[in-house]
Copies of this chain bind each other. A is one copy, B any other.
Amino acid sequence: MTDDTGIGSPEWVELLSREMRKRWSAVADRTEQMAGHALLAPGKMLRPVLLLNSAEATGGDSAQLLPAALAVEYLHVATLVHDDIIDDDRLRRGRPTVHAEYGMADALVTGDFLILNMVTSLSECTAVPPAAVLEAARVLAGAGSDVCRGQVREAEMAGDLSCPVSDYQEMAALKTGALFRGACRAGAVLAGATGEHADAVTRYAEHLGVGFQIFDDLLPYLGDSTGKPATSDVANLRPTHPVLVGHEVADDHARQRFAEALSGRLPAESHALMRELLIATGALERSRQRAAEEIAAARGSLDGLPGAAAVEQMRAIADLAIDRSR
């Protein structure tokens, strides 16, 4: 699953990181220690920042929402901890993953603990009416459930080059988009936004999520990897966006070579072959274009929202989502 180093609003990232350290650096037992190991790795807090920005963009106040912002990060990090078990990834954000450090059994339990802490943390928003907190919990739990559906669907697609690009986009909307959507919508709900305003940040998040995921799929072929091993997608037989786009337009001969590249044999060579195919078919360029369109749609979704400064931040986040070199 996608990590998010390289994107964010510096002041809020600093505030959130400080709060996270305060809560998780002096801990009571091994369970909290493992949770802290996962939570205190340097990250960009993209989803919590989106929650806070959405509260302000829709005209609310984010000052009381720090526990809710942490809650969405707990959920996100839980999915990372469990994903790393599934993919047996040993490094994350430059540190050993939880299961590499503490073993599979404890890492599995740590992920569960983090999901449950999402609820505990949300319930600390005592300055917000309980009905709104409960609705935010429902929204985030629904988002988390959608992430699960997306992961299962992605596994079903493994190795399937004939999978329609539209199916891929549905999967990405679940696996990656759902948490963006949950964060933004929860922020609006907690801020007491109107339905119309909440829908606007929800649309923003949906476009952002798909654009973000497509760009993430492109990264291994652009030469500026963010720490994700360049060969990981082909090694895991993942038919990503550019691969499906390229396969769709390829002739029979090229399709055979796509199949070779996604056969799971010799990951490093497969990766080079795949890159060549993606350039030759124009898929890299088309996927990049598609990501840019999603980001433009995300920006446009925020038109007319009352919180101008937060809207600007959210647009900047969208821009950075397809240019992580900055």
Contact = CB atoms under 8 A, between A and B. Distances in A.
Interface of A: 29-31, 34, 78-79, 82, 85-86, 104-106, 108-113, 115-120, 123, 129-131, 133-135, 137-138, 140-142, 144-145, 148-149, 151-153, 155-156
Instruction: Count the copies.
Output: 2
Contacts of A106: 152, 155
A105 B155 contact: yes
A86 to B, nearest CB: 4
Contact of A29 (B34, B79, B110, B152): B152
A148 B82 contact: no
A79 B2 CA distance: 26
A131 B137 CA distance: 13
B151 A109 contact: yes
A109 B152 contact: yes
Contacts of A135: 123
7 contacts: A29-B149, A30-B153, A82-B112, A86-B104, A112-B112, A116-B141, A120-B145
Most buried by B among A140, A148, A155: A148
A117 B141 CA distance: 7
Contacts of A118: 141
A323 B31 CA distance: 34
Nearest to A151: B109
A110 B109 CA distance: 14
A152 B104 contact: no
B134 A31 contact: no
Given A30-B156, A115-B116, A148-B116, A123 B137 contact: yes
B149 A31 contact: yes
